[in-house]
């Protein structure tokens, strides 16, 4: 990192994540991810999909792969599987 990169570092976690993603993609690195936070609702799924495959990226950059962490048995009872299906279709580019 250059001194300029350090002075432009973002303090908020989401901003820092985008800075790391964009910097990696600009350098031609493959980027992967996983759902480290247990988010299993439509809003959370869409936020993950937008991070993994940004719709407005003119260079069409995206994660090379994504690992979906299986929820615990307790959480599985509360997941709406139609939302999970929609998320999977978004990640595969079937639905936008």
Q: Are 25 and 61 in contact (CB under 8 A)?
A: yes
Q: Do residues 36 and 21 share a domain? A: no
Q: Do residues 40 and 18 share a domain? A: no
| 8-39: pLDDT as tens digits | 665 788 888 888 999 999 999 999 998 877 77
Q: Do residues 51 and 85 share a domain? A: yes
Q: Are 38 and 71 in contact (CB under 8 A)?
A: yes
In the chain, the number of structural domains is 2
Whole-model pTM: value is 0.68
Q: Do residues 25 and 46 share a domain? A: no
| Residue 60 Cα distances to 55, 56, 66, 93, angstroms | 8, 8, 16, 12
Residue 83 lies in domain: 31-96
Q: Do residues 73 and 63 share a domain? A: yes
Q: Do residues 10 and 53 share a domain? A: no
Q: Do residues 42 and 60 share a domain? A: yes
Q: Do residues 21 and 58 share a domain? A: no
Residue 58 pLDDT level (bands cut at 50, 70, 90): confident
Q: Do residues 52 and 17 share a domain? A: no
């Amino acid at each position: 990192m250059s001194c300029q990169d350090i002075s432009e570092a973002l303090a908020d976690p989401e901003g820092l994540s985008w800075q790391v993603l964009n910097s990696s993609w600009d350098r031609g690195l493959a980027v992967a991810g996983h759902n480290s936070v247990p988010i299993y609702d439509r809003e959370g799924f869409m936020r993950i999909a937008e991070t993994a495959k940004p719709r407005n990226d003119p260079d069409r950059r995206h994660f090379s792969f994504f690992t979906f962490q299986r929820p615990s048995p307790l959480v599985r009872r509360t997941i709406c599987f139609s939302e999970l299906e929609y998320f999977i279709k978004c990640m595969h580019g079937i639905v936008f």
